[in-house]
């Protein structure tokens, strides 16, 4: 029987005999032969609700895709986070968050291995029934739409300036100076063709190029540290503005201004913690990448996650340190804004960053489409028209948000404050508690107590983040009212 072949670890089934997501069934971690997730038709074929191919993505390409999913526009704000936490506190927080993220992925993979399911939404279904499936799908959709919108918002703001810098006589009235037109062009010409691809693994090449662009950004930040004088007048003026915001005295000397702080606590410190806490959010992409991994095992996918997190940790740390040591207390919340717009090198860096975030959008879109398919068409085989239509609709919605919402920071800040802790801490922990059987690990056993503490930490992060956003909104409204 085909089911017996799978349980013996044979992977020679033809794609025609495998309907959606049959490669899940080849996973040796399926510990329960009678798992109801596997259903056998009378004609002997296995009918499972996921994908129609066996994973073929290499280990290296999987690392590129997951690293690209981790790497987001948030890297531009990490130097600002260090400026408001200090070097020691920043490094401590970054290490802690990286370790927690790796542990969270371990919980996801452990839960997936026990039941033989590699879909976030299906794990939700196995743990809490249909409400769990709907909740997981909605959170993934909400979070990733927010991420896609933030990337395209950067394109909307930065690309007109970059194009105009190459013009001898730029005209603000021309179409290329309007970011609304440009994001439509970028979406249609670059993002949509990549989003039409059937498998996420194919995006490993574009993910590798995207990461190369961010490495170029990092090298440029390091180089600029050694050729930028902190005591230059523009840096001094920026520092005076920053000090006014923090109610500091304006009489500080330049030597104080250009001095690195090991630990810093100020009113902005609380707002930088969520930036760092969500720097490693990649969990919606973990299981889809696991789906397409060649020779999939829990340990192999965990190695993909560990290497990706380590690589991004190094890039985050170096970017934050050298960005902070260039501008010190004057560091802006978006690092690129600190550099001269007439600098040729930084102009190329801006273009590289735009290319990087643009090529990240298709990777982020895949989990949303999978969530929609799991909710609306859970038992349907792959269909190109459905595949393409969902991608077009998602990009249409994201473009509308970016075009017509003047400031999406608060909207997606709130989305991030609720969805990111859910994806990193709460859902993986709850899935683990519900899916790992009581006979194997009682609720009061040390592993599950640790997971309960992990989930509790997620709720604390969520409450803190929402509170900071509401506090900032109320404070901002009062300030506007005062003026």
**pLDDT at residue 448 in the model:** 92
**pLDDT at residue 429 in the model:** 93
Handedness of CA 267, 270, 274, 277 (dihedral sign): positive
Confidence class for position 243, pLDDT limits 50, 70, 90: very low
Res. 479: pLDDT tops 70: no
**pLDDT at residue 28 in the model:** 34
**pLDDT at residue 8 in the model:** 43
Indicate the angle between helix axes 120-165 and 384-404, nearest 10 degrees: 50
Stated length of the chain:
483
Cβ distance 254 to 115 under 8 Å? no
Distance CA 373, CA 21 (A): 12
Three-class secondary structure of residue 436 per DSSP: coil
Res. 60: pLDDT tops 80: yes
Q: How many CB atoms lie within 10 A of CB 138?
A: 16
Confidence class for position 216, pLDDT limits 50, 70, 90: very high
Q: Which domains does the chain have, with CATH numbers?
A: 1-54 (no CATH), 55-411 (1.10.4160.10)
Three-class secondary structure of residue 40 per DSSP: strand
Of 196 and 201, more confident: 196
Average pLDDT over residues 9-36: 37
- pTM assigned to the model: 0.76
Three-class secondary structure of residue 293 per DSSP: strand
Cβ distance 196 to 392 under 8 Å? no
Cβ distance 24 to 265 under 8 Å? no
Handedness of CA 137, 139, 142, 146 (dihedral sign): negative
Measured CA angle at 438 (ends 433, 440), to 5 deg? 100
Angstrom CA distances, 317 to 26, 221, 269, 322, stand at 39, 12, 17, 9
Cβ distance 379 to 49 under 8 Å? yes
Q: Is 86 left (phi over 0), alpha (psi -120 to 50) or beta?
A: left
**pLDDT at residue 19 in the model:** 37
Cβ distance 223 to 196 under 8 Å? no
Distance CA 469, CA 100 (A): 23
Average pLDDT over residues 463-480: 70
Sequential DSSP letters for 223-284: HHHHH--TTSHHHHHHHHHHHHHTT--TT--HHHHT---SS---TTHHHHHHHHHTTT--HH
Q: 300 CB contacts (<8 Å, ≥6 apart)? A: 59, 293
User: Per residue in 341-355, pLDDT tens?
Assistant: 788 888 899 899 899
């Amino acid at each position: 029987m085909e089911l017996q072949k799978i349980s013996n670890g044979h992977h020679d089934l033809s794609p025609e005999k495998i309907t959606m997501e049959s490669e899940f069934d080849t996973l040796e971690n399926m510990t329960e032969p009678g798992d109801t997730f596997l259903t056998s038709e009378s004609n002997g074929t296995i009918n499972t609700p996921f994908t129609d191919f066996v994973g073929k993505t290499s280990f290296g390409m999987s690392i590129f895709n997951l690293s690209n999913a981790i790497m987001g526009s948030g890297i531009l704000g990490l130097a600002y986070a260090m400026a408001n936490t200090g070097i020691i506190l920043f490094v401590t927080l970054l290490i802690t968050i990286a370790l927690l993220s790796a542990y969270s992925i371990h919980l996801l993979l452990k839960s997936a291995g026990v039941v033989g399911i590699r879909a976030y939404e299906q794990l939700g279904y196995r743990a809490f029934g249909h409400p769990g499936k709907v909740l997981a799908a909605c959170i993934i959709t909400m979070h990733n739409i927010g991420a896609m919108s933030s990337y395209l918002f950067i394109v909307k703001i930065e690309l007109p300036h970059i194009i105009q810098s190459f013009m001898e006589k730029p005209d603000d009235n021309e179409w290329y100076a309007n970011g609304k037109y440009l994001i439509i062009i970028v979406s249609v010409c670059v993002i949509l063709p990549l989003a039409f691809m059937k498998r996420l693994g194919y995006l490993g090449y574009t993910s590798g190029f995207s990461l190369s662009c961010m490495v170029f950004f990092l090298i440029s930040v390091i180089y600029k540290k050694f050729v930028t004088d902190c005591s230059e007048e523009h840096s001094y003026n920026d520092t005076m503005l920053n000090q006014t915001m923090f109610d500091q005295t304006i009489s500080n000397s330049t030597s104080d201004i250009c001095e690195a702080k090991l630990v810093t606590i100020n009113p902005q410190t609380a707002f930088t913690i969520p930036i760092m806490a969500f720097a490693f959010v990649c969990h919606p992409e973990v299981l889809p990448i696991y789906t397409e991994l060649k020779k999939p095992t829990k340990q192999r996918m965990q190695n993909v996650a560990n290497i990706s997190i380590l690589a991004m940790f190094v890039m985050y740390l170096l970017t934050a340190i050298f960005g902070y040591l260039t501008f010190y207390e004057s560091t802006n919340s978006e690092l690129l804004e600190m550099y001269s717009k007439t600098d040729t090198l930084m102009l190329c860096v801006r273009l590289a960053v735009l290319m990087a975030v643009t090529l990240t959008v298709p990777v982020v879109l895949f989990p949303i489409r999978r969530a929609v398919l799991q909710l609306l068409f859970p038992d349907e085989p792959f269909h190109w028209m459905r595949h393409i239509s969902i991608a077009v609709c998602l990009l249409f919605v994201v473009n509308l948000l970016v075009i017509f919402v003047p400031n999406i920071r608060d909207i997606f800040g709130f989305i991030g404050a609720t969805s990111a802790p859910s994806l990193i801490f709460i859902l993986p922990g709850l899935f683990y508690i519900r899916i790992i059987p009581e006979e194997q690990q009682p609720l009061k056993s040390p592993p599950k107590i640790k997971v309960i503490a992990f989930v509790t930490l997620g709720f604390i992060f969520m409450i803190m983040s929402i509170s900071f956003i509401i506090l900032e909104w109320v404070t901002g409204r009062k300030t506007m009212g005062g003026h």
